Amino acid sequence: MFRETNTRSIVKGISWRVVATTTTIIIVYIFFGRLDLAIAAGLIETVLKVVLYWGHEKIWHKIHWGKKKIEPFNLWFTGLPLSGKSTIADKVYKELEKLHIPIERIDSKDIRELVPNIGYSREDRNRHMLRIAHLIKTLQNNSISTVASFVSPYRESRKAIREMVKNNIVVYLKADIETCKRRDYKGVYEKALRGELENFSGINDVYEEPQHAEIVIDTDTVSADEAASQIVKYVRKHYVK
């Protein structure tokens, strides 16, 4: 899959203009047999079409008919550690990028690498979620949608996010804890079970299931690709029609 770059588009536009102008020059020369007249006609035609196209675009830019504003939205992925949040959110983000809408990806791992001193207590996590909500709100104020993936185990923080963020779509990736353990390529569940990690959701801390999630997907039975497809369909139906 390739995306057209601005440079390529400009070069294509120039090459087409050269072809069109050359065609005009040839036609005029064939009919009148004068090269000077043919070149003059080609240059005049080029200038006129550039000016007319510019004016045409300016007029249509001011006409609101046929335009549809896309309200920024936030896809909030929540679930137990290793339930598939980052994997599926990444796939969804890549698909939504293809729709050419302003969108950003926010993942818990990346944020914690930037701010490594964030704790894991309930208070620390709730405060951290408010920071993320503020970030998303700022992006939305600039018409940028977001795909965010965080364990976000507590209902009060998810409620606060919903109140702060417009068009918040909670995506609950439901998975049995035994399934999550089998996916544990980092061994974090084993560390939590040995007591080496405190406040680990699902082991020595709670994970409070969302009660009003817009999308619920059981990743025990639904593949990452299928889950991503379902979520993209939801977004296209409700926000990017």
Catalytic residues: 152
Angle between helices 6-32 and 35-62 (to 10 degrees): 140
Q: Containing H/E element for 24?
A: helix 6-32
**Alpha-carbon gap, residue 118 to 45, rounded angstroms:** 64
Q: 220, 207, 221, 212: which is closest to 150 by C-alpha?
A: 207
**Who contacts 97 (Cβ-Cβ below 8 Å, separation ≥6)?**
103
Put the strands of the sheet holding 215-218 in their side by side order.
103-107, 145-149, 74-78, 168-174, 215-218
- Dihedral, CA of residue 227, residue 233, residue 238 and residue 241, to nearest 10: 150
Angle at 106 between CA 104 and CA 112, to 5 degrees: 150
**Alpha-carbon gap, residue 92 to 222, rounded angstroms:** 15
**Alpha-carbon gap, residue 118 to 111, rounded angstroms:** 9
Angle between helices 224-238 and 85-97 (to 10 degrees): 50
User: Are 219 and 173 within 8 A, CB to CB?
Assistant: yes
